[in-house]
């Protein structure tokens, strides 16, 4: 019996030795030669490499690091623990080979605790050492861009799996003509209102103001077009630009936070719209996000009440004895006060200290504005306008008080609905609000990490329409760098948009070339983050700077008979079908500057997906190293757009992609 056991052990050892000695048909042969091969290194916080992206205090986290087979001699996790302000080391051990036998997977576990941590990998091959973190590989130890561990921080799962549709209500669809604002109905800052015919220019005629041009779009119109949004396009979340009572068409100058503007249908229309968005009887059940303008009000708000809009209320402008006097910051009452960006019609709210009347009114109680619209109407989240500027004492934000405000706001909103989405308007690196220290926003408007680089790559213009062009390698570097700015749960809900109400339309920057919109749709629906379609972008709507970027929707284009709409429908359907495109790992596969080809992979336990994008005007053929996705030789990848099937040979597939178009190859 003992001999049989010994023979069995010897046989197992021999088999293990033979398996370890086999050299597969690799693109890069590897060995322990005092050289760490960077092309084999990969890790991120996708489900294949991080066992608990959103851990609790009692969750140990097992991390994985990929290397070329038999390339390294050891690996370690080095993490900084905020509990003791010290670095700690976790030795990693070899775990397994990938399916192709080209890669080794090394694993190590960081013990559970409640403290925030930041980690990087050290990879060794004899005397050679490489480092790896969210910024990628490096020869020297990095001092920034580490991966995050944020116990008890999470972003809404529904938002990770959403496609969002942004609507400027007055310009989308007129569902009830009886509530239309008419020409000369009232005046706003000395200018009368102007009602214009649908489809005409949003620029005011002589004697009127761009802010008082109305077309009649309303929430009844949004409700009547839900089938288009939910079924034709496949979007499942609607973000509405401001809807609260205000004399302007844009409504970023709130008059009454407690009521929807009558010209948009009022509270009843909103309640019905939310119910219908949440319903699954008219398409997939969805979510609704409101625009919260909480940095400032309009001078006609009852709290300020400059024009005695509310005769029964004594506003801050009317008396220093007003209960609302300290809601604002006066340098010399009543005509000198802190404003938003110098606009006298936009007095800035003074948030004071914790527990102040303003904080309680905006978010601090169950009846506060931010909580009530969630509790009473079922709103699913807030987009925070000009959020960096919120402050006390007339200061301009981006300081400790601003961060305290949004930490408290988060606590209030999440107490009303723990799954509510909170994203702030910010045009640069929003790490200070999203790094979990402390928790504030779930994410931020991704101008810096998506809108700008994608525009420069495809259109040769920045988002303001100025000449600015980058190549494929620059694009990939830009995207990699801006992803590294954020924890992965934040990245996954960053709104990625081609246009917004504040910048020129993508179709304008593309010079009306619909093929550039096609290409943009490919990257928008396959990249990391929350795809956000600004109404009309799906058919290539054009428009210059404000107010031209707020044209009325052309409903003659609102069907799949429009080729761009049909493509958006198909790409959204593909995204909705594969979790790997939403929460899977992201890895660069090819950056061909000469042919303007960009390829990247998305992967999880179920699917390996290679996305190939061609930014040239002509068709190019590219060989894609899909072995980097652990796709085995002989397996097949299907382009879910064209239906073409590719067979993997020597770890690669060769794909032809027409100009300004893409392919999505799924295993």
Contact 118, 79 (CB under 8 A): yes
Query: How would DSSP label each residue in 345-413?
Result: EEEBBB--STT-HHHIIIIISTTSHHHHHHHHH---EEEETTGGG-BSTT--SSSHHHHHHHHHHHHHH
Q: Is 385 among the residues known to form the active site?
A: yes
Confirm if 425 and 445 have CB atoms less than 8 A apart. Answer: yes
Q: CB of 222 within 8 A of CB of 230?
A: no
State how far the alpha carbon of 521 is from the alpha carbons of 251, 454, 525, 565, in Å: 29, 11, 6, 10
Tokens of 376: 């009473």
Q: What is the 3-state secondary structure (H, E, C) of 457-505?
A: HHHCECCCCCECCCCHHHHHHHHHHHHCCCCHHHHCCCEEECCCCCCCC
Rounded to 10 degrees, what is the CA torsion of 43, 47, 53, 55? -120
Tell me which residue of 414, 532, 492, 490 sits closest to 160, measured CA to CA: 492
Query: What is each CA distance from 557 to 168, 210, 227, 236, 312, in whole angstroms?
Result: 18, 25, 15, 20, 48
- The answer to whether residues 306 and 330 touch, using CB atoms and an 8 Å cutoff, is no
Can you tell me which residue has the tokens 């093929």?
Answer: 515
H/E element, 166: strand 164-167
User: Which residues on adjacent β-strands are paired with residue 664?
Assistant: 611
Among residues 522, 515, 513, 498, the alpha carbon closest in space to that of 659 is found at 515
256, 261, 380, 425: which one is catalytic?
425
Q: Distance between CA 667 and CA 650 in Å, rounded?
A: 16
Q: State the DSSP H helix or E strand holding residue 514, giving kind and residue range, or none if neither.
A: helix 514-526
Choose among 499, 492, 503, 605: nearest CA to 545: 503
Partners of residue 122 on adjacent β-strands: 76, 131
Distance CA 164, CA 533 (A): 6
Residue 317 · residue 304 · CB < 8 Å: yes
Distance CA 31, CA 12 (A): 23
Taking the C-alpha atoms of residue 563 and residue 516, their distance in angstroms, rounded to an integer, is: 13
- 425 catalytic? Reply is yes
Annotated catalytic residue within 81, 350, 385, 622: 385
For residues 362 and 354, is the Cβ–Cβ distance under 8 A? no
| CA–CA distances in Å: residue 429 to residues 432, 445, 448, 494 | 8, 10, 7, 12
Residues with active-site annotation: 385, 425
């Amino acid at each position: 019996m003992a001999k049989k056991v010994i023979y069995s052990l010897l046989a197992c050892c021999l088999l293990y030795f033979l398996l370890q000695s086999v050299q597969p048909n690799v693109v890069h042969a590897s060995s322990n030669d005092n050289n760490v091969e960077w092309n084999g290194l990969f890790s991120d916080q996708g489900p294949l490499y991080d066992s608990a992206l959103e851990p609790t205090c009692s969750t140990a986290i097992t991390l994985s690091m990929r290397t070329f087979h038999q390339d390294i001699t050891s690996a370690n996790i080095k993490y900084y623990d905020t509990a003791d302000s010290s670095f700690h080391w976790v030795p990693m051990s070899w775990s397994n080979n990938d399916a192709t036998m080209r890669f080794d997977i090394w694993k190590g576990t960081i013990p559970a605790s409640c403290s925030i941590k930041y980690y990087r990998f050290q990879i060794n091959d004899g005397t050679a050492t490489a480092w790896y973190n969210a910024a990628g590989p490096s020869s020297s130890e990095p001092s920034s861009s580490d991966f995050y561990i944020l116990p008890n921080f999470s972003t809404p799962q529904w938002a990770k799996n959403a496609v969002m549709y942004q609507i400027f209500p007055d310009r989308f669809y007129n569902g009830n003509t009886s509530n239309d604002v008419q020409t000369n109905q009232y005046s706003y800052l000395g200018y009368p209102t102007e009602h214009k015919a649908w489809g005409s220019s949003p620029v005011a005629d002589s004697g009127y103001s761009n802010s008082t041009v109305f077309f009649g779009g309303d929430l009844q119109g949004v409700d009547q077009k839900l089938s288009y949004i939910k079924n034709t396009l496949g979007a499942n979340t609607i973000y509405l630009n401001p809807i609260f009572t205000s004399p302007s068409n844009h409504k970023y100058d709130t008059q009454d936070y407690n009521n929807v503007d009558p010209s948009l249908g009022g509270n009843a229309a909103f309640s019905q719209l939310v119910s219908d968005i949440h319903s699954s009887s008219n398409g997939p059940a969805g979510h609704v996000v409101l625009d919260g303008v909480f940095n400032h009000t309009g001078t006609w708000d009852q709290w300020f009440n400059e024009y005695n809009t509310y005769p029964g209320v004594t506003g801050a402008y009317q008396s220093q004895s007003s209960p609302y006097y300290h809601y604002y910051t006066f340098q010399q009452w009543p005509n000198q006060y802190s404003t938003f960006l110098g606009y006298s019609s936009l007095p800035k709210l003074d948030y004071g200290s914790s527990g102040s009347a303003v904080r309680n009114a905006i978010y601090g109680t169950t009846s506060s504005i931010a909580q009530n619209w969630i509790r009473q109407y079922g709103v699913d989240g807030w987009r925070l306008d000009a959020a960096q500027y919120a402050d006390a004492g007339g200061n301009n934000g981006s300081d400790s008080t601003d961060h305290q405000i949004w930490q408290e706001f988060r606590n209030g909103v999440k107490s009303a609905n723990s799954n509510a989405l909170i994203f702030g308007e910010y045009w640069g690196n929003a790490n200070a609000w999203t790094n979990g220290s402390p928790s504030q926003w779930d994410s931020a408007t991704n101008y810096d990490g998506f809108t700008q680089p994608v525009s420069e790559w495809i259109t040769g213009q920045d988002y303001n329409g100025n000449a600015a062009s980058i190549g494929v390698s620059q694009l990939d570097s830009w995207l990699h760098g801006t992803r590294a700015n954020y924890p992965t749960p934040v990245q996954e809900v960053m709104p990625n948009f081609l246009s917004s109400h504040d910048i020129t339309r993508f179709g304008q920057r593309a010079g009306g070339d619909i093929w550039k919109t096609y290409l943009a749709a490919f990257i928008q629906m396959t990249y990391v983050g929350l795809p956000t379609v600004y109404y009309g972008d799906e058919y290539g709507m054009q428009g210059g700077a404000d107010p031209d970027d707020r044209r009325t929707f052309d409903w003659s284009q609102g069907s799949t008979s429009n080729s761009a709409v049909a493509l958006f429908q198909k790409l959204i359907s593909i995204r909705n079908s594969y979790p790997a495109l939403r929460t899977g790992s992201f890895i660069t596969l090819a950056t061909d500057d000469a042919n303007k080809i960009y390829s990247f992979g998305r992967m999880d336990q179920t699917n390996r997906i290679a996305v190939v994008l061609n930014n040239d005007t002509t068709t190019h053929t590219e060989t894609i190293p899909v072995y980097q996705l652990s796709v085995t030789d002989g397996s097949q990848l299907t382009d879910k757009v064209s239906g073409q099937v590719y067979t993997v040979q020597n770890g690669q597939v060769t794909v032809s992609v027409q100009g300004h178009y893409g392919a999505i190859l799924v295993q």
